[in-house]
Amino acid sequence: MGDVCLVIGAGAGIGGHVGKRFAADGYHAALCRRSDQDGLDRMVAEIEEKGGSASGHLVNAIAENALEELIADVETHIGPIKTVVYNLGAQIGNRALSDTGLKVFERGWRMGTQGVFRIASTLFPLMEQRGGGTMLVTSATSAVRGNAGQHSHAAAMGGRRMLCQSLNAEFAAKNIHVAHILIDSGVNAPDTLGKMMGEENFEKLLDAKGRGKDGLMEPSAIADTYYHIAHQHRSAWTFELDMRAFSDIAWWNHPLNLNI
């Protein structure tokens, strides 16, 4: 079997498509998400139908030892993880400070920052022994600027970015590549953006920007760049990049970001 690509947060958006993209080139895609066994099964089946290799893993990433056990499980029963994709968001929509309790704030940190730390702490020693590996981290504009109502999300993502830089400072020379990928437009993903907006609003958005207009990011297009970044020659690695729909306005010129 080929190398393993573990995707943490493999829904119908970026995560799932990255899994499919890697599977299409011979990787085993170990797809991990919190819920929806049926959806997960369908994704695995879809990859297998095309001749690829995949497995589904239902995991609550922020539960104690969950990520650590997932990695041990995949390494033992499937194979050595060559690429891990950390695709968990921590967006909870805009909430005034008074509506952002301590538990919510901590949960944001667990999803946004601590999870990256736990993955790296568990997996990088194995990668180092094997001579290298890759971690692709989906991120958001909240990693580079705060915003009203984004107390939890921005704190979590700001920590995420600085952690990725610190990981690179220690591990890049050990041939472990961490890429921080800032996604700055809404993604055409019914089960994340669609859920957050509600079906009706999402349909309106699709009419306005999607459906051939290319104003919503196609997760399959994003996945192509994830794949490219993971396969750059090590003399020319990219550590930070942004991605945005051509017709969208950059976050620093923008009043509103649906997918912050």
Q: Within positions 137 to 156, which residues make up the interface with a second copy, using CB under 8 A? A: 142-151, 154-156
109 Ramachandran zone, left/alpha/beta (phi>0; psi -120 to 50): alpha
Does the protein bind a second copy through residue 103 (CB under 8 A)? no
Does the protein bind a second copy through residue 72 (CB under 8 A)? no
Cβ(4)–Cβ(27) under 8 Å? yes
Residues 221-240 that bind a second copy (CB under 8 A): 221-222, 224-225, 228, 232-240
Report the residue from 31, 109, 193, 259 that binds a second copy according to the rule CB under 8 A. Answer: 109
CB of 107 to a second copy, least distance (A): 12
Phi and psi, residue 13, nearest 5°: -100, -130
Does the protein bind a second copy through residue 60 (CB under 8 A)? no
Phi and psi, residue 179, nearest 5°: -115, 130
| CB neighbour class for 150 (10 Å; exposed up to 12, middle 13-18, buried from 19) | buried
d(CA 239, CA 192): 26
Question: Could you tell me which stretch among 40-48, 53-61, 74-82, 219-227 binds a second copy (CB under 8 A)?
Answer: 219-227
Cβ(39)–Cβ(216) under 8 Å? no
Phi and psi, residue 239, nearest 5°: -105, -35
Question: Could you tell me which stretch among 26-34, 54-62, 78-86, 246-254 binds a second copy (CB under 8 A)?
Answer: 246-254
CB of 60 to a second copy, least distance (A): 17
Report the residue from 171, 192, 193, 230 that binds a second copy according to the rule CB under 8 A. Answer: 171
Q: Which residue, 78 or 175, is less far from a second copy as judged by CB?
A: 175
Does the protein bind a second copy through residue 119 (CB under 8 A)? no
CB of 80 to a second copy, least distance (A): 19
d(CA 180, CA 80): 22
Give the type of residue at 119.
Answer: I
Report the residue from 11, 15, 56, 159 that binds a second copy according to the rule CB under 8 A. Answer: 159
